[in-house]
Amino acid sequence: MSHSSVDASAPVRIGEISTFVLEAPIAKPVRNSWRTLTSRSALLIRITGDDGAQGWGEVWCNYPPRGAHHRADLINHVAAPIITDRDFEGPQQVFRTLEKALRIPAVTAGEPGPFAQIAAGIDNALWDLVSKRAGKPLWQYFGGVSRVEVYASGLSPDEPGPLAEQAVKNGFRAAKLKVGMESAVDLKNSAELRTILGESGKLMYDANQRWTVAQAEKEIRKFAEFDPVWMEEPIAGDEPLSAWKTLAGTSALPLAAGENARGRAAFDGFIESGALKFLQPDMGKWGGFTECLPLGRRAIAAGIKFCPHWLGSSVGLMSSLNLLGAAGGSGWGEFDANPNPLRELLMPGDIRVSEGFVTLSSAAGIGFAPDLDVLREFSAK
C-alpha cells in the first residue's frame, strides 16, 4: 500500500495542536561515550481534527537540556499557524507543506535538525489520528505485520549486568551495550553480558560516534570474540559516505547507523552503498511515517535489516514499533531497558515482551492515548 493510496481516503483538517513538555527525574544516570542523562525528557504532540478525532506523536528531544521546550515553541509558534484550519488530502500533504514552508526558516535559524524533528512528530501524530479514525492499528493500516522483534537498549557502561539480567527476565533475548569508554571496561562488560544472554542471545554494541575511522578499525576488532550482531555508530553520524564505505570494507563487525542521518539522499546513499547492514532511522528526528515507512521498505528490499531507533516515552516507542511492523518486520525495534517513568507509566497494558518479540496492539492507531494525569504529573517547568 502506497502513501498516496492511503492519503486519498484520509483527508484531514487540523483544529488544534497541543504540546506537552515532560521531564522525569531518574535515580541512576544513563551514560554513553560523551554525555550523561540525569533526567528523562519527552515532547508529546496531540493533534485534534476539526471532526474531534485525535492523534498523538512524539518529537525527539534528548539533547540539549531544555531542548523539548525549544521544539515545543517551534511547533506552537512556527509550524502550527502554517497547517491549522486548512484542508489537506492526508498526512503526507501536511508533511510536504511543512517541508517546503520550514526550509528557509530552518536555514535562517541554522537549525535544520529541530525543524525536521517537529515536522516528524506532527506527521506521526497525524497518522495516529487518521488510523484511529479508520479504526485500525497503524501496522495494519499500512498492510504490515503485528509481531516484531525487539532488543533491550540503553545499557550504559556503569554496571550493565543487573539491567541485562532484568531484561532477560522481562522477555528480551537481545541487548545493546554502550561502548567506547575504557577498553578494559568495555571488554569486561561484554563478557558479562555474553554470559547473561547465553550463546543464543543477541548482543549489539553502540559506540555513540566515539572514534575516527582509523580508531574504529582498530577498536572494533576487540569485540568480535563476543559474536555481536552489529557495531552501531562507531564514527560520527556526519562523516561522509566514503568514510562509512571505507570502514565497512575493513570492519570486523557489520555496521549499524541512521539515527543521526537526515534526508532522503543521505539514507538512499547508505542503502545504495551497502555500507550498513542495519539501518536505524529515528522517526521522531526526521520523516515520521511519511518518509520512514517507504525508507524501511526500500532498505528491506535491498537486504538491509530495518531497525528503527527510539529513546523516549512510550508514545514514540509504540509509533516506532508500529513503523517496524508496517514495513514488514524485518529487523529489530529498539526498546529502552532503563527505568523511565515516561515510558513505564504511559505504556499500554497489552504490550509485553515474550521470547524477544512484541505483539502489537489490535487497538487503533499506536494502540493507546496517554494518560493525561501522568502528563500533568511530569509537566516540565
**Is 329 contained in some domain?**
yes
Which amino acid would we find at residue 345?
Answer: L
282 dihedral zone (left: phi>0; alpha: psi -120 to 50; beta): beta
| Closest C-alpha among 229, 173, 221 to residue 200 | 173
**pLDDT given at position 34:** 65
The domain of 187 spans 139-370
Quick one: cell of 28?
541512576
Number of domains in the chain: 2
SS3 annotation, 136-198: CEHHHHCCCCCEEEEEEEEECCCCCHHHHHHHHHCCCCEEEEECCCCHHHHHHHHHHHHHHHC
| C-beta atoms surrounding 81 within 10 Å | 11
Quick one: cell of 20?
506537552
Residues 227 and 180 in one domain: yes
**Is 318 contained in some domain?**
yes
Picking from 80, 100, 135, the residue at the C-terminal end of a domain is 135
Picking from 112, 135, 158, the residue at the C-terminal end of a domain is 135
Cα Rg of the chain (Å, integer):
20
Picking from 83, 100, 135, the residue at the C-terminal end of a domain is 135
pLDDT, averaged per 10 consecutive residues of the chain (381 residues), comes to 49 97 86 76 97 97 93 98 97 97 98 98 98 97 98 94 97 97 95 97 97 97 98 97 98 98 97 98 98 98 98 97 98 96 95 98 98 97 86
Query: Vertex 341, ends 44 and 319: CA angle to 5°?
Result: 40
DSSP codes of every residue in 218-267: HHHHTTGGG--S-EE-SS-TTS-HHHHHHHHHH-SS-EEE-TT--SHHHH
Residues 36 and 163 in one domain: no
How far apart, in whole angstroms, are the C-alpha atoms of residue 176 and residue 183? 17
Q: Measured on CA atoms in the order 285, 290, 295, 300, is the torsion positive or negative? A: positive
Residues 193 and 341 in one domain: yes
**Is 167 contained in some domain?**
yes
How far apart, in whole angstroms, are the C-alpha atoms of residue 22 and residue 39? 10
Residues 220 and 304 in one domain: yes
Quick one: cell of 56?
498523538
**Is 376 contained in some domain?**
no
**Is 81 contained in some domain?**
yes
Helices H / strands E in the chain, number of each: 16, 14
Quick one: cell of 163?
539491567
For residue 354, the cross-strand partners are: 357
Residues 169 and 260 in one domain: yes
**pLDDT given at position 6:** 44
**Is 377 contained in some domain?**
no
Residues 87 and 182 in one domain: no
Query: What is the maximal distance between C-alpha atoms in the chain?
Result: 59
Residues 287 and 174 in one domain: yes
Residues 127 and 143 in one domain: no
Residues 148 and 125 in one domain: no
- Residue 242 belongs to domain with CATH number: 3.20.20.120
| 125 SS3 class | helix
**pLDDT given at position 33:** 67
Exposure pattern of 46-78 as b/e (b: 16+ CB <10 Å)? Answer: bbbbeeebbbbbbbbbbeeeebbbebbebbeeb
Q: Measured on CA atoms in the order 141, 147, 149, 155, is the torsion positive or negative? A: positive
**pLDDT given at position 36:** 77
Half-sphere exposure of 279 (CA within 13 A, CB side): 34
pTM of the model: 0.96
**Is 209 contained in some domain?**
yes
What Å distances lie between residue 118 and 106, 275, 332, CA to CA?
11, 29, 25
How far apart, in whole angstroms, are the C-alpha atoms of residue 200 and residue 203? 10
Cβ atoms 176, 154 nearer than 8 A = yes
**pLDDT given at position 9:** 65
Residues 147 and 163 in one domain: yes
Residues 86 and 144 in one domain: no
- Residue 47 belongs to domain with CATH number: 3.30.390.10
Residues 202 and 325 in one domain: yes
| Closest C-alpha among 104, 119, 126, 110 to residue 74 | 119
**Is 84 contained in some domain?**
yes
Cβ atoms 141, 348 nearer than 8 A = no
